[in-house]
Amino acid sequence: MVVRLVVQTVCWFLVTALLLFSAAGTGRWAVGWAYLSLTGLCGLGVGLWLARFDPELLDQRLASPVQRGQKTFDKVFMAVFLLLYHVWLAFMALDAVRFAWSHVPSWLHVVGALLILACYWVVFLAFRVNTFAVPVVKIQAERNQRVVETGPYAVVRHPIYAGALLFMAGTPFLLGSWWGLAMATLIFVPMLALRAVREERVLSEGLEGYARYAARVRYRMIPGIW
């Protein structure tokens, strides 16, 4: 499984590098390499931790984004989201480098890197307590899925989505694209919010105790707000 993790990570790195630097029109883009290095190392680190402590969850997360038992709406969501995500990356490279539309101060690149690190930390905390944190919306009856209420799940109902919000803000800051931040705010945030609502409907109907948990933990992704 570790070999599979490494192979997928290397493939992701190569494809993302090709996408970013082709759009940028140059390989001499320091923050582009910083983004690739940061996300690649963090993803690999979390994956290696899962390989040791929760290989079943790692196996689920390395699987196809379209799976048996996955709700139809989520299959559509994953296809659209992954397409838009790659368009987003290419667009930020065009914005920040090739056409230089955006001018982001250097200190915000650092803020972006810190937000991405915070994202991976939140996701890691979620993985530590929730072995059912698979990337697709489905009821995992074969794994005796239960409601998880500890760790970050005691604060918000969707901590991984909360981490994704940090990532969606941190990536445009690090890469230096105001237009990328606008795209994330106007497209990805509403998409994640819609998915959270639809996912909760599935869990409330199919997972014993989830409705009571949702009533007790008030906020979905942002404590004190929503």
Which distant-in-sequence residues (6+ apart) come within 8 Å of 110 by Cβ? none
Per-residue pLDDT at 70:
86
Decide if 46 contacts 8 (C-beta within 8 A): no
Q: What class is the 2-216 domain?
A: mainly alpha
Per-residue pLDDT at 34:
97
Per-residue pLDDT at 44:
96
For residues 192 and 187, what is the distance between their CA atoms, to the nearest angstrom? 9
Per-residue pLDDT at 120:
98
Per-residue pLDDT at 8:
94
Ranges under pLDDT 50 in the chain: none
Per-residue pLDDT at 64:
85
Per-residue pLDDT at 66:
84
**Residue 187 DSSP symbol:** I
Per-residue pLDDT at 117:
98
CA–chain centroid gap for 130, Å, is 16
Query: Does this model's pTM top 0.75?
Result: yes
